[in-house]
Amino acid sequence: MAALHGQQNTFYIPSFVEQEMSKYMFASLPLEACGVVLGEAAAGGIRISRFQPIRNVAPDPLHHFALEDAEWIRCVFNEPQLIGLFHSHPRTTPIPSNEDLRNLPIFAGLLQLYFIGSPDLTADTQSKMLLNGYQIHSNVDSSIVTSLGQPYSLQPTPLCVT
């Protein structure tokens, strides 16, 4: 997978995985939902194969997320296809917040993808999720300088639901 770093990829996500993420997000409302995505790098992009919810144990889960330690550690050591993180923004758009960017170094060394979902407040139905995907980039060997001076940044990447 290292060969894909620095390249712009497309994320291919099966509709059933996107639906699992959406269902979990709506079931977690009004709290932020979180979990990990599994998959593999392939020619032309990254193929997602599964979503694994993880309990949010943040002190203020209405506005933040924190992965439950034991579940997170189990995924890191037992899931060879761990490639990304998902969390929701229940009341805002699915774009990285300053808090997301500040906490990115906690996960970035282990992952390639960062997904954020939000309820679509403009939809006719009340169960449509807006989902944005971002590829995690290391700024250590790069001329990219983030406004927060972070060693990692998030680059928007096309999502293709199949």
Q: Which domain holds residue 101?
A: 2-161
DSSP 2: G
Residues 47-101 have pLDDT tens digits of 999 999 999 999 999 999 999 999 999 999 988 899 999 999 999 999 999 889 8
Residue 32: DSSP 8-state: P
- Measuring CA to CA, which residue among 10, 3, 92, 87 is closest to residue 44? 10
pLDDT of 43: 76
Q: What are the tens digits of pLDDT across the range 101-160?
A: 888 888 888 888 999 999 987 766 667 899 999 988 876 554 444 444 567 888 888 888
Lowest mean pLDDT among 30-34, 40-44, 105-109, 122-126: 122-126
Is 115 within 8 Å of 39 (Cβ atoms)?
Answer: no
- Total structural domains within the chain: 1
Locus of tokens 């599994």: 38
pLDDT score, position 9: 76
109 within 8 A of 123, measured Cβ to Cβ: no
User: The CATH number of the domain where 66 resides is what?
Assistant: 3.40.140.10
Alpha helices (runs of H) in 53-117, residue ranges in sequence order: 69-78, 98-108
Q: How far is CA 74 from the centre of its chain?
A: 18
